[in-house]
Amino acid sequence: MAERAPKQRVDIPWHKRIRNRNRLMLLDEQTFEEQWSLSVSALHLIALLLGFAAIVAAIVILAFIYTPIKNVIPGYTDKKWRQDANYSRKQVDSLLRISQDQNRYIQDLRTVLSGGFVRDTSSSSTTQVGESDIPEYVMSIEDSALRARIAEEDRYNLSFIPGQKSASSSSKTYLFNPLAGSLSSPFNSKIGHFGLDIIAPMNSIIKAVQEGTVVIASWTSDGGYTIQIQHPANLISVYKHNSVLLKKTGDKVEPGDAIAIIGDSGEHSDGPHLHFELWKNGVPVNPEEYLVFDNP
């Protein structure tokens, strides 16, 4: 009997093999009865796994987009947080520039009011230094106008405390008007308002009413930036709600010296004004008895 020739193996392309269907069966161990079967190809299995992976990826992406879980990723910053941080940084830069400009303005103002000169930083020319090493300063147009305005305000701004027994000029106490403005609230000791409220434009200069020594120059919660001056004859003047103080505690002042700039600081302020008080022998007195103000 002749031997049967071995069957030759036929190579099937891979794209056809993955389409061949295979049966997955579950049989009873005792009877070998078919319990469950599934006919599936490798292509179907790959498609099923890819679909499952796509669904899981979509769920994860949606969770990171629409839920706060994305904030737990190291290095990730919420868009709103980034916007707030950029806004805060810009605000801080702006406040820093404003603070620097105000400090420069106050320093220049103190120099001008004390009789000095302010260097004109807008000039392109360099400052020449003489043999005595004293720098040459140039007064700007704004400084000249400010000095002229203050001098004009102080020309006819004297008052004196009445009731002096002697008629000689040496027996009268002359007072400068602290601010050129109009009254908004009068003196009323019955309701605890021991001074006058004087309104004036922003950046108006407040002046000392008489020579004396600054005893208080600080911040208070109700009066904001407050300055208090002790004058001769046991007279005290108080200036509240300023935006800037030009004098510090212990400074000596002369009548008409610039001591502050009008503002609205403090809890009991609702706009730029000066709250001005006069105390004589420890008792508040009505400043309108000694000074003349414009009515609103």
Residue 229 within a domain:
yes
Domain count, the chain: 2
Question: What is the percent of the chain with per-residue pLDDT over 70, rounded to a whole number?
Answer: 69
Mean pLDDT rounded to a whole number for the chain:
76
Give the pLDDT of residue 126. 40
Predicted model pTM: 0.47
Q: Is the pLDDT of residue 193 over 50?
A: yes
Which of 48, 66, 84 terminates a domain? The answer is 66
Q: Is the pLDDT of residue 27 over 50?
A: yes
pLDDT bucket at 274, cuts 50 / 70 / 90: very high
CATH of the domain at 184: 2.70.70.10
Residue 248 within a domain:
yes
Residue 160 within a domain:
no
DSSP states of the chain as a string?
A: -PPPPPPPPPPPPHHHHTTSEEEEEEE-TTT--EEEEEEEEHHHHHHHHHHHHHHHHHHHHHHHHHSGGGGGSTT---HHHHHHHHHHHHHHHHHHHHHHHHHHHHHHHHHHHTT-----TT--SPPPB-TT-PBP----HHHHHHHHHHHHHHTT-EEE-S--S--SGGG--EEE-S-SSEEEE--BGGGTB-SEEEE--TTPEEE-SSSEEEEEEEEETTTEEEEEEEETTTEEEEEEEEEEE---TT-EE-TT-EEEEEB--STT-SSSEEEEEEEETTEEE-GGGT---B--
Q: Is the pLDDT of residue 269 over 70?
A: yes
Give the pLDDT of residue 19. 74
pLDDT bucket at 230, cuts 50 / 70 / 90: very high
Residue 200 within a domain:
yes
Residue 183 within a domain:
yes
Give the pLDDT of residue 60. 84
pLDDT digit string (tens) for 43-78?
777 888 899 999 999 988 888 777 777 666 666 666
Of residues 234 and 115, the one with the higher pLDDT is: 234
User: Residue 26's domain spans which residues?
Assistant: 19-66
Q: Which of 2-16, 40-54, 152-166, 262-276 has the lowest mean pLDDT?
A: 152-166
pLDDT bucket at 168, cuts 50 / 70 / 90: very low
Residue 141 within a domain:
no
Question: What is the percent of the chain with per-residue pLDDT over 90, rounded to a whole number?
Answer: 21
Q: Is the pLDDT of residue 143 over 80?
A: no
Residue 249 within a domain:
yes
Give the pLDDT of residue 81. 75
Q: Is the pLDDT of residue 255 over 70?
A: yes
Which of 66, 93, 125 terminates a domain? The answer is 66
Residue 9 within a domain:
no
